Amino acid sequence: MSISSARSFVSLLSEPSPALQQAGVDQLLKIVDDFWFELFGDISRLEGLAEDTSFAGARHASIIVSKIYYHLGELPDALHYALGGLDLLDFTATDLYTKTIVASAIDSYVASRRKNADDMDPRLERIVNDMAKRDLSTGNVRPVIGVGLESNRLDLVKEALAAARDQGTVAEVLSYAVSLTNDLSSTVTFKKAVLAVIINGYKAVIDGTIARNGGDVDAELASFYVGVVQAHVASDDAEGAAAVLNELLSHADSVDAELLTYQVAFDMADNATQNYLSRARRTLFTLSVAKAAEATKAPAAAEGEAAGEADPPSALEVVGEILSGKTSTALYLEFLYRNCKADLAILNQSMKSLDGRNSVTHHALVCSNAIMHAGTTRDTFLRENLSWLGRAANWAKFSATAGLGVIHRGHVKESMKLLEPYLPGDGGRSSASAQFSEGGSLYALGLINAGGTGDDGSTVDYLLSQLATAGASEVLQHGASLGLGCSALASGRRDVYEALKGALYSDSAVAGEAAGISIGLVMLGTGDEECVREMLTYAHETKHEKIIRGVAMGLALIQYGRGEDADTLIDQLLKDSDPLLRYGAAYMIAMAYAGTSANPAVARLLHVAVSDVDDNVRRAAVTALGFVLCRHPKKLIAAVSLLSESYNAHVRYGAAAALGVACAGSGSPEALKLLDKLLDDTADYVRQIAFIACSMILIQASPAAEPKSEELRKKLGERVADRREPAIAKMGALLGQGIIDAGGRNTTLSLLTRAGEIRLPGVVGMALFLQHWYWFPLVHMVALSLVPTSVVAVNRNLKMPVFSFKSNAPPSRFAYPPDFKPVERKKAEKVTAVLSFGKRTARLQEKDEEREKAKEERLKKAQATRRVAEAGAADAMDTAADEADGTTSAKGSKASANLIESSADLAKDEKDDGEQKAEDEPSFEILHNPARAVPKQYAVLDFTVDERYSLIAPRGVATGIVVLRDSKADEPEELIGLKAGGEAAGEGNDADGDAANADAVAADSDGELGDDAPEMPEPFEFDADLEDADDDKDNNSNNNAPDGAGEGGDAMATA
């Protein structure tokens, strides 16, 4: 029976009899989904029945009210009344109402758990527990892990891992749990507790597998060892990671175990900080020496005596070298040098388009060259344009010299020799002009040795001595301070901190700013309370804005990765009356919550972005959103979509910067759509950051995969050449040209490691790069965020063998962009005036020529007809003669047919020539070691095509440095000789990097960089007479000039 109205059942609710009321409720429950709009008018009466504890149908009434609110979109009220009829809900149902209520209940439960609310409804926990039991019983453990991480329920995580172990899916589930930990853990403490549980899960599997294998380590355990070390790195447990390596070394008699140890060590070197690796290395040597001493019943030796007295196995020494960063640095340096595809034509064209007397654009082009050649050791552009480079003066000269550190980043072994022409001499005081190049060389030295490049500490000691002997020279103090911050990144060394504190307390604006930033770099993530207290006190005492700003950024860096532990200091700085300290608070949120996507951090930044009275603070708050949401670019795009249209240009600047940070290398069309409007913004500094952000997003994008990249390259060139474009906007276009081709088109900008963890140098480098708004030399800090996109395969001896693998994608999808071809300007044709009489004469001549051509055509046709007739007569005679002989000749017909066929083929070939050129390209590509592999290409790489070598640790993303297992170890190997140190960089050497080339293959190689290091360009001096001649034009340039222009003020003044 069909029901057309619910009014008859609603009328039963007014009856005095409870039985009739219950009958009405029972009937309404059946039809509420179809007639909820009729019941809305009587919802008050239904709510009364639902809350009447004496009414037998109260639970049914609660479900009715809940469904009415559900259809109205009032989910909180729907959940409230659904809890009243909880026993009537079937959680296994798949209807939309049940799914929505369950999801709302879980969200409410998570929010209450994170707030540690005492008044949390116990019925919510019942729903979560029931859902967890149901999922675990069906083997669906991943949702349980997610809810456990979000709600700080460690017991749910343990139960899920135990269920996965019983089901045989523990490997996938453990990896999944590690990937979720950073995203969903609300506090640092809970995150470490979860990782400890995950580590125990890995160890249980490893121990069980080894026991079944009779004590042997085989390839089956590769993914578990890689995963457990990844978890140790995420929990900052260097000692635990060292213990895992030591366990693997105890099985070093097995080739697989030895190779796996090297692979795990390479992964640690790629993903961990310099401080972490140093701690792990010390612990590993201590454990190894103790084990050797116990085995020989000899006293344990110290770490420094390990190699001599305890005589550890050679595998230990190899692992120590890997953990020091030396091996990885040398291999990446080789890759970047061999595969460098930087296009000098772009730089040369930009240089021709620019006014060489403008200090802003001159400095920007120097920085663009440094970024474009970062890590490649190729300085050809500088060598070929020394006279142009010599225009750099004062701080511009400082920055130009520092750019050499970006070009030679990672060339640690020869860093002192490379910079020798520029470094301060031992004898006496340098001239005022020379001090700028000397200070820049100290900064360059720090960039070359920045963070985990394998420096043995000598660079830090040298820079400490230079800082101590700098005297009153603020230029040398500035360079030495920045160099120390880079080379001692996250080391936490107290002696370096004390030296930098002395430079800070000198009350020199320039030196103090660098010292404040560098203290933050050295004490990165330590949260040192004494350091914070001293710096904050001095920030309130000094009157120099530069120092206050440097201290504010230093304080932000000290709180890196501390999450809620930094909230107290953040609240204090946000309430400070000094806008510079509030500016630092915004970046402190970015550093403390980088990559966490924490809702409280996002809400706080959005509040500051729309409420603070200072434009700089608002700009910083919007920019900081990019760091917090860098794991979830889509959330960031949604958060800044409206901010990108703000009336305030500083907010628009921050929105563009945030998009560049969070979407770097992604090619996100949504982000590019927002930035398209900002490329033509009315504010020149907004256009500047829009150019930079677009280049960050489209870095390494091929025209075939991302057509927008070709459009952007063209637009950058046009804006650089446009004489009407202000210098500060041109600066953004020039830096964009360098960034989009960074590292010879072989590096990408990334705030995340290949394992998905937050990459410390990437976050720090990007944060300091954005400070170029105030101080142009900080542009070079972007080098810390650059990561080689490579596959470098090594054998057991850590040499590069001839090895091939497959990319299952058309070559054009991930190909290098085509080289730039300057557009040749066509000369304007001369126009000659013609009188009317001349035009009439020309028309008559044209008619006469047409008549002559027509006559010639008729004559040719007549001749052709006569020849055809003669040929036909001859054929007829031949045919008659053949018939007389009793044979039939096909000679003439065949010749005619062949002639016609050939003509047709020729016409077809000409017609289809374009189609043949556009023939479908192969669906795959064979790559040779060492090869470029961009992040989007990782998913299509196939390492099973080589007949001899295979990966020791098969992984979903096998990039970076990979260790190979040799199936023909008893046969000779073809090894790839190193080029980066063996030939002078920048001399136009071939760097194709094709392993198939004969000159790239050597029978043997020692694997070390050669002694012949690339020479630096000759020291340049500025021509004072030329400067005097150009003063007038320089004074008319944009007010956003760097301090290097001689004014000493901020690099970018607000409009």
pLDDT tens digits, one per residue of 271-305: 888 888 888 998 988 887 766 665 555 444 444 44
- Residue pair 807/813 in contact by the 8 Å Cβ criterion: no
Indicate the range of 260-264, 714-718, 764-768, 864-868 predicted with least confidence. 864-868
Percent of the chain whose pLDDT exceeds 90:
40
Lowest mean pLDDT among 154-158, 649-653, 820-824, 856-860: 820-824
Q: What is the pTM of this model?
A: 0.81
- CB-based contact 170:202 (threshold 8 Å): no
pLDDT for the residue numbered 983: 39
Using pLDDT thresholds of 50, 70 and 90, give the confidence band for residue 921: confident
Question: CA 792, 796, 798, 802 torsion: positive or negative?
Answer: negative
Residue with tokens 């949401």, as numbered in its chain: 629
- Average pLDDT, stretch 702-712? 90
Amino acid 1046: pLDDT: 35
Please, what is the Cα angle at 563 between 559 and 569, to 5 degrees?
A: 50
Q: In the chain, how long is the greatest CA-to-CA distance?
A: 127
Query: Average pLDDT in the 747-769 region?
Result: 90
**How confident is the model over 959-969, as a mean pLDDT?**
88
Predicted local confidence at residue 182, as pLDDT: 72
The Cα 664–Cα 630 span in angstroms is: 9
CA–CA dist 916, 914 (Å, integer): 5
866 φ/ψ angles, rounded to the nearest 5 degrees: -65, -40
Tell me the per-residue pLDDT of 396-407, one tens digit each, with 9 for 90 and over.
999 999 999 999
Confidence at residue 824, expressed as pLDDT on a 0 to 100 scale: 59
User: Residue 341: its pLDDT value, please?
Assistant: 92
Using CA atoms, how far apart are residues 201 and 224, in angstroms rounded to an integer? 10
Instruction: Specify the higher pLDDT residue, 712 or 256.
Output: 712
Task: For the chain, give the mean pLDDT.
Answer: 81
- pLDDT (0 to 100) of residue 1024: 41
Half-sphere exposure of 277 (CA within 13 A, CB side): 28
Percentage of the chain lying above the pLDDT 70 cut: 81
- The DSSP secondary-structure symbol of 310 reads I
Contact criterion met (CB below 8 Å) for 618 and 650? yes
Residue 659 pLDDT > 50: yes
> What are the CA-CA distances from residue 542 to residues 498, 549, 963, 983, 1049 (Å)?
19, 11, 54, 50, 17
The 8 Å CB, 24+ separation contacts for 1045-1049 are 1045/359, 1045/360, 1045/394, 1045/395, 1045/396, 1046/393, 1046/394
Helices (H), 373-450: 380-384, 386-389, 395-407, 415-418, 432-448
Task: Centre a 10 Å sphere on the Cβ of residue 392 and count the other Cβ atoms it contains.
Answer: 25
pLDDT score at 451? 74
In angstroms, the Cα distances linking 449 to 414, 442, 782, 929, 934 are 11, 11, 14, 26, 25
| Angle formed at CA 1024 by CA 1019 and CA 1026, multiple of 5 degrees | 100
What lies within 8 Å, CB to CB, of 844 at 6+ separation is none
Structure confidence at residue 117 (pLDDT):
63
Cβ atoms of 444 and 478 within 8 Å: the answer is no
Predicted confidence band of residue 900 (pLDDT cuts 50, 70, 90)? very low
Amino acid (1-letter code) at residue 635: K
What was the pLDDT predicted at 566?
92
